[in-house]
Chain A
């Protein structure tokens, strides 16, 4: 099981991850992602896409 992790020093809060992966990423009051739940296997490909798409290279998958 892997988890999504945000590097807060990099994340610029445009919220793309929340759009690409609404099942796992909520956006907070200011547009920054709330992550931390385990990524189930069936969402793993989508999570990887979100990680690759993050413009700030702030989103990571940790196993």
Chain B
């Protein structure tokens, strides 16, 4: 995936020597100074949760002697920003990890990445520098929920890569585990060097001329992101913002919304891990959503009943609706199932699927009506990049 615009976060510095030239050595701030630096700016977690970095750091620092995990395995197939970041500037992420470890007096320092290319790339970056001490690389299976924070912690402690129920922003364990997304860590590395961090990474995909990763400033709207991606390939009806855990928005509603947590919330969307996917009018929104739902159902870690049963049920009913052969009372049934799975899993996977489904029923309401009697004939298309 191409990097379309690069600011300070994505400025290319792939090798250690490039990094030293561009950013210099790791700043020698104390733990207290680092916590203050993080406080100064409200950098929300960039992994989709949006939980403020400084609060997580302070909570982990209070316990002390815990584990810091840099999460480079966000897992959502439609997001390419962590890949772009690790391609461009792996050492900025590693810097952030080392700084987070220092700020929280961590005992164990870990980089989690999908097995294969991503893990190899991190190992090679770690091998280029001599200040990394005992940073471990944790290799994860290519499964959606493997990158979920509590699943990381379980894998690290020799358990399965499966989520575990929790209530606090710090994943559980006897010692605190601070799980921080790669982009957030890169932000910390910049903050510690006295830079302002007012950009974030966005993956722009679907029916645009040049899909890719953008580094955008706070006020950037979806319209501007589309422009930077070369404009539409063909007329677009709706945008999936926030990725597979996100929400559908009608295209004209989405275009003027800024790509920030608040901007997206204000129009009923979500920023998630910073993903915008444009669905053209030539595609069927119901069929496309059914593909994502089926994928999410297949990716369920199969440990919680409502998720294990509800997601396949929702996917099947939506598939039948998309095919013009709906089960009785399909719209009400889908809404009811969405309500039923929400909040009833060890992780937020079912909540994400429910949000996606209900937003589809709203945005494609006319299509729902029409499909009750016959299919529309349009394909799902490959715009949402659902893995097969």
Across the interface, name the chain A residue whose C-beta is closest to B350.
A8
Partner of B306, one of A12, A28, A36: A28
Inter-chain contact B340/A8, CB cutoff 8 Å: no
B346 within 8 Å of A by Cβ?
yes
Chain B neighbourhood of A8, CB < 8 A: 165, 303-307, 344-346
For the complex, give the distance between the alpha carbons of A29 and B311 in Å.
Answer: 12
Chain A neighbourhood of B309, CB < 8 A: 29-30, 32
Across the interface, name the chain A residue whose C-beta is closest to B303.
A9
Q: A11-B305, A32-B305 are in contact. Are A6 and B310 (CB under 8 A)?
A: no
Q: A30-B305, A30-B309 are in contact. Are A9 and B340 (CB under 8 A)?
A: no
B313 within 8 Å of A by Cβ?
yes
For the complex, give the distance between the alpha carbons of A57 and B177 in Å.
Answer: 25
Chain A neighbourhood of B305, CB < 8 A: 8, 11-13, 30-32
Chain B neighbourhood of A28, CB < 8 A: 306, 340
- Minimum C-beta distance from B148 to chain A (A): 12
B105 within 8 Å of A by Cβ?
no
A9-23 interface with B by 8 A CB criterion: 9, 11-13
For the complex, give the distance between the alpha carbons of A11 and B165 in Å.
Answer: 12
- Minimum C-beta distance from B150 to chain A (A): 10
- Minimum C-beta distance from A48 to chain B (A): 21
Partner of B304, one of A11, A29, A31, A36: A11
Chain B neighbourhood of A34, CB < 8 A: 340, 344
A7 within 8 Å of B by Cβ?
yes
Across the interface, name the chain A residue whose C-beta is closest to B345.
A8
Chain B neighbourhood of A29, CB < 8 A: 309-310, 313, 337, 340
Q: Mark B332-370, 1 if CB is under 8 A from A, else 0.
A: 000001001001111000000000000000000000000
Interface size class of B (residues with CB under 8 A): 10 to 19
Chain A neighbourhood of B306, CB < 8 A: 8, 28, 30, 32
- Minimum C-beta distance from B228 to chain A (A): 41
B263-318 interface with A by 8 A CB criterion: 303-307, 309-310, 313
Across the interface, name the chain A residue whose C-beta is closest to B164.
A9
Chain A neighbourhood of B337, CB < 8 A: 29
Across the interface, name the chain B residue whose C-beta is closest to A62.
B167
Q: Mark B139-163, 1 if CB is under 8 A from A, else 0.
A: 0000000000000000000000011
For the complex, give the distance between the alpha carbons of A12 and B305 in Å.
Answer: 7
For the complex, give the distance between the alpha carbons of A28 and B309 in Å.
Answer: 10
Q: Which of B306, B307, B345, B346 has the most CB of A within 10 A?
A: B306
Chain A neighbourhood of B304, CB < 8 A: 8-9, 11
Partner of B165, one of A7, A12, A30, A32: A7
- Minimum C-beta distance from B154 to chain A (A): 10
For the complex, give the distance between the alpha carbons of A30 and B312 in Å.
Answer: 12
30 A-B pairs whose Cβ atoms sit less than 8 Å apart in the complex: A6-B344, A7-B165, A7-B346, A8-B165, A8-B304, A8-B305, A8-B306, A8-B307, A8-B345, A9-B162, A9-B163, A9-B303, A9-B346, A11-B304, A11-B305, A12-B305, A13-B305, A28-B306, A28-B340, A29-B309, A29-B313, A29-B337, A29-B340, A30-B305, A30-B306, A30-B309, A31-B305, A32-B305, A32-B306, A34-B344
Interface positions of B (Cβ within 8 A of A) = 162-165, 303-307, 309-310, 313, 337, 340, 343-346
Report the 3 A-B pairs with minimum CB-CB distance, sorted nearest first: A8-B304, A32-B305, A30-B309
New A-B contacts (18) at CB < 8 Å, excluding given A8-B303, A8-B307: A7-B165, A8-B165, A8-B306, A8-B344, A8-B345, A9-B164, A9-B346, A11-B304, A12-B305, A13-B305, A28-B306, A29-B310, A29-B313, A30-B310, A31-B305, A32-B305, A32-B306, A34-B340
